[in-house]
DNA sequence: TTCCATTTGACACCGGGTGCCATTAATGTC
DNA sequence: GACATTAATGGCACCCGGTGTCAAATGGAA
């Protein structure tokens, strides 16, 4: 039961489980009891490992929810770099963000529960800020490069924040509505963002 | 030493201190030892109260930093309501946000240290999300009313997020630079925001 | 078998936060 | 002055997340 995917012929004892395995166990408990009511001890016990070991797989209980987010960020950075130089900023943004949120068919359910937790559980809302900051940094970096500014400057920062806000609003909409495609929602959301702000400062 | 401003002739024992008093004590310790290294016990001991009592004044250690923020939000809502109906959204926004950040001459130093903590200490960055959410809700509510949308809709949300991002960028700039006036920084920041996005979706 | 690298998990500890409850201090009444 | 009432206090035990330490378990290589 506890034999993990034993990696190649490397010396030393083999891990007794894996991040994904732990994630599955944890999500099952989160579904059943809620995030707050599930203790790390519960997860460890359900996974058949020691509490201490859990913290070797994840830095914190919060981190379980985020899966391989950090790795994905690097991918997002690459996608930005791959966009044609002349493309309007907002359009690149739309393409990359939509692509960033595309998940395998089988994963879409997990993705939904993931977002549900992140957006609804206060402890995770708080924690998510730190992750969002990294996400925004990638966006700001891109926006800065395109507009010839520094990532810390006002415009890139505002763009990054607005992009994040748009994505979050789209997530909310997707979670609220019944089953429409997330990518489609994001796509229209970012299209509206570009149009929206264009009018914004002109009319009432 | 511990006699607080004894309120009127109300029955029952009088509070032995006050939120502001505790805040002062705490900030002194934060300055000296840093936020993380300062325990609640330290604060309680320095204030001459029990640890348990501390948590009757503040819901959490994090909350100490935020002072009367929640009360201020109601004031901000009023200011929005007081803006002339025909004024451009971005302009109302600028006026209100700038006004919201105006503090008494004597308080400006505390305000600075407050922002410094919120923006730099990870634990507080995370916690701040929950406060920002309330702030954004007020902005989104206003933006929605003006544009005839729902606060949860995309445009108000994007505006609120962009406004928050702009404010944060301005704070950062203010903290980094030497002593220029915060309100001035915010003012130009929001002016740029309106101009910036106007060009944004048109050029590269 | 021996050596070495690696993971494991038990244990003790810290710090934030909460429920409980007896105690203390203030008021007003008889 | 004795008494109930009201409110704040603070000690205590407890939960939970997170960390440092260290001996033991595991498996490959010599």
Nearest by Cα to A42 from A27, A59, A63, A20: A27
Q: How many Cβ contacts (< 8 angstroms) between chains A and B?
A: 136
Sorting pLDDT into bands at 50, 70 and 90, what band is B192?
A: confident
Q: Is residue B148 part of a domain?
A: yes
Does B41 contact strand C, using a CB cutoff of 7 Å?
A: yes
Q: How far is it, in rounded angstroms, from Cα A139 to Cα A181? A: 23
Q: Is residue A145 part of a domain?
A: yes
Nearest to A162 among B88, B127, B158 (CB): B158
pLDDT at A69 over 90: no
Give the residue-averaged pLDDT of B84-109: 91
Q: Please choose, from the candidates B102, B101, B31, B32, the residue with its C-alpha nearest in 3D space to the C-alpha of residue B65.
A: B31
Cβ-based neighbours of A24, under 8 Å, separated by 6 or more: none
Do B93 and B25 sit in the same domain of this protein?
no
CB-CB under 8 Å, B157 with A193: no
Report the candidate in B131, B156, B93 with the shortest Cα–Cα distance to residue A173: B156
**How distant is the Cα of A109 from the closest Cα of chain B, in angstroms?**
24
Instruction: Find the mean pLDDT for residues A64-71.
Output: 88
Report if residue A72 sits inside a domain.
Answer: yes
Q: Could you tell me if residue B4 is inside a domain?
A: no
Gap from A11 CA to D30 C1', Å: 13
Are A79 and A168 in a shared domain?
yes
Nearest to B127 among A87, A126, A203 (CB): A126
More confident residue, A51 or B204: A51
Residues A78 and A165 in one domain: yes
Gap between the Cα atoms of B168 and A127, Å rounded: 18
- A126-148, pLDDT tens digit by residue? 999 999 999 999 999 999 999 89
Q: State the nucleotide closest to B9 in CA–C1' terms.
A: C27
The answer to whether some atom of strand D lies closer than 7 Å to the beta carbon of A7 is no
- Residue A198 binned pLDDT confidence (cut-offs 50, 70, 90): low
Distance separating alpha carbons of residues A140 and A151, to the nearest angstrom: 5
Judgement on whether residues A88 and A152 belong to the same structural domain of the protein? yes
Cα A153 off chain centre by: 24
If you measure CA to CA, which chain B residue comes closest to A190?
A: B154
Which residue did the predictor score with more confidence, A90 or B37? B37
pLDDT of residue B116: 94
Helix, strand, coil percent values for chain B (each to nearest 5): 70, 0, 30
Collapse the DSSP code of B88 into the 3-class scheme (helix H, G, I; strand E, B; otherwise coil) and give the result. coil
Band the pLDDT of A201: cuts 50, 70, 90. Answer: very low
Q: What integer pLDDT is reported at residue A193 of this predicted model?
A: 80
A89 and A137 assigned to the same domain: yes
Q: Each residue of B19-56: pLDDT tens digit?
A: 999 999 999 999 999 999 999 999 999 999 999 999 99
CATH code of residue A60:
1.10.10.60
Residue in B with minimal Cα distance to A152: B169
B8: closest CA of chain A, how far (Å): 38
**Residue B178, pLDDT above cutoff 80:** no
d(CA A116, CA B20): 37
Cα A5 from Cα A14, distance rounded (Å) = 9
| Residue nearest D8 (alpha carbon to C1') | B13
| Number of domains into which chain A is organized | 2
- The predicted-structure confidence for B124-133, as pLDDT tens digits, reads as follows 999 999 999 9
pLDDT mean over A184-202: 74
CA dihedral angle for residue B188, residue A194, residue B130, residue B69, rounded to 10 degrees: 30
Residues in A touching B189 (Cβ below 8 Å): 154
Confidence tier at B177 by pLDDT (50, 70, 90): confident
Write the CATH number for B167. Answer: 1.10.357.10
CA-only gyration radius of chain A, Å? 20
Same domain? For A116 and A193 the reply is yes
In this prediction, residue B200 carries a pLDDT of 45
Residue A179 confidence class, pLDDT cut points 50, 70, 90: low
Amino acid A153: pLDDT: 87
Within 8 A of B147 by CB-CB distance, chain A residues are 204
Hey, what are A108's tokens? 């879409």
Would you state the structure tokens that stand for residue A168, as one six-digit string?
């979050």
- Measured distance CA(A89)–CA(A198) in Å, rounded: 13
Give pLDDT tens digits for A17-54.
Answer: 999 999 999 999 999 999 999 999 999 999 999 999 99
The answer as to whether A12 is a domain residue is: no
Average pLDDT over residues A67-93: 91
Residue A112 lies inside a defined structural domain of this protein:
yes
Do A171 and A186 belong to one domain?
Answer: yes
Residue B189 has pLDDT above 80, yes or no: yes
Q: Taking 80 as the threshold, does the pLDDT of residue A3 lie above it?
A: no
Which residues from chain A sit within 8 angstroms of residue B201, using beta carbons? Answer: 88-90, 194-195, 197-198
| A172/A75 same-domain check | yes
Indicate if B41 and B134 belong to the same structural domain: no
**B92 and B80 in contact (C-beta within 8 Å)?**
yes
Q: How many other C-beta atoms are found inside a 10 Å radius of the C-beta of residue B124?
A: 22
- Per-residue pLDDT at A196: 61
Q: Which nucleotide is nearest to A36 (CA to C1')?
A: D16
d(CA A167, CA B157): 10
| Same domain membership, residue B100 and residue B127 | yes
Q: What's residue B195's pLDDT?
A: 76
Is residue B53 located within the same domain as residue B83? no
Tens digit of each residue's pLDDT (9 = 90 or more) over A139-177: 999 999 998 999 988 889 888 988 998 899 899 989 987
Tokens of A22: 């732990």
Give the contacts of A182 (CB within 8 A, at least 6 positions apart): A101, A108, A111, A170, A171, A174
Alpha helices by DSSP H, listed for A38-177, are 40-47, 51-57, 69-82, 89-100, 108-120, 122-147, 154-176
Q: In B, which residues are within 8 Å of A172 by CB distance?
A: 152
The nearest alpha carbon in chain B to A176 belongs to B152
- Give the angle B83-B84-B88 at the CA atoms, nearest 5°: 90
Task: Nearest chain A residue to B121 by CA: give it.
Answer: A130
Q: Which residue has the higher pLDDT, A108 or A61?
A: A61
SS3 (DSSP) at A124: helix
* CA–CA gap between residue A119 and residue B190 (Å, rounded): 28
Task: Please choose, from the candidates A146, A144, A115, the residue with its C-alpha nearest in 3D space to the C-alpha of residue A132.
Answer: A115
Question: Residue A204: pLDDT above 70?
Answer: no
Selected for mutation to probe chain A from B169, B175, B189 (highest A CB count within 10 Å) is: B169
Instruction: With CB atoms and an 8 Å threshold, state whether B165 touches A162.
Output: yes
Express each pLDDT in B7-19 by its tens digit: 567 899 999 999 9
Chain mean pLDDT for chain B: 89
Lowest mean pLDDT among A127-131, B1-5, B84-88, B195-199: B1-5
Residue whose pair of structure tokens reads 């404010």 in the numeric block: B167
Tell me which residue of B163, B197, B174 sits closest to B95, measured CA to CA: B163
Residue B1 resides in a domain: no
Domain of residue B50, residue span: 19-58
- Going by pLDDT thresholds of 50, 70 and 90, the confidence category of residue A202 is very low
Q: Same structural domain for residues A145 and A174?
A: yes
3-state secondary structure of B51: helix
Which of residues A83 and A193 earns the better pLDDT score? A83
Bases in strand D with any atom closer than 7 Å to a protein CB: 5-13, 15-21, 25-29
CB-CB under 8 Å, B146 with A200:
no
Q: Are B154 and A189 in contact (CB under 8 A)?
A: yes
Is the sign of the CA dihedral A120, A125, A128, A133 positive or negative? positive
> Does A14 reside within a domain?
no
* Res B102 pLDDT > 80: yes
> In a 10 Å sphere around its CB, with 0-12 CB exposed, 13-18 middle and 19+ buried, how is residue A178 labelled?
exposed
- Our measurement of CA B12 to C1' D11, in angstroms, reads 20
- Which residues of A in 35-94 have their CB below 7 Å from strand C's atoms? 48-53, 56-57
């Amino acid at each position: 039961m506890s034999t993990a995917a034993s990696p190649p012929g490397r010396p030393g004892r083999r891990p007794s489980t894996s991040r994904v395995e732990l994630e599955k166990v944890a999500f099952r408990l989160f579904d059943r009891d809620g995030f707050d009511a599930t203790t790390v001890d519960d997860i460890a016990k359900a996974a058949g490992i020691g509490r201490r070991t859990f913290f070797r797989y994840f830095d914190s209980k919060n981190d379980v929810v985020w899966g391989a987010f950090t790795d994905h960020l690097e991918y997002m950075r690459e996608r930005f770099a791959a966009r044609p130089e002349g493309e309007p900023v907002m359009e690149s943004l739309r393409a990359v963000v939509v692509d960033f949120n595309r998940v395998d068919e089988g994963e879409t359910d997990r993705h939904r529960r993931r977002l549900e937790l992140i957006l609804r559980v206060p402890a995770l809302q708080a924690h998510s800020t730190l992750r969002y900051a990294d996400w925004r940094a990638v966006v700001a970096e891109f926006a800065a490069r395109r507009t010839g500014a520094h990532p810390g400057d006002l415009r890139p920062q505002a763009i990054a924040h607005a992009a994040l806000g748009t994505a979050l609003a789209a997530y909310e909409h997707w979670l609220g509505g019944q089953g429409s495609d997330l990518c489609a929602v994001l796509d229209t959301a970012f299209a509206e963002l570009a149009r929206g702000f264009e009018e914004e400062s002109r009319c009432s």
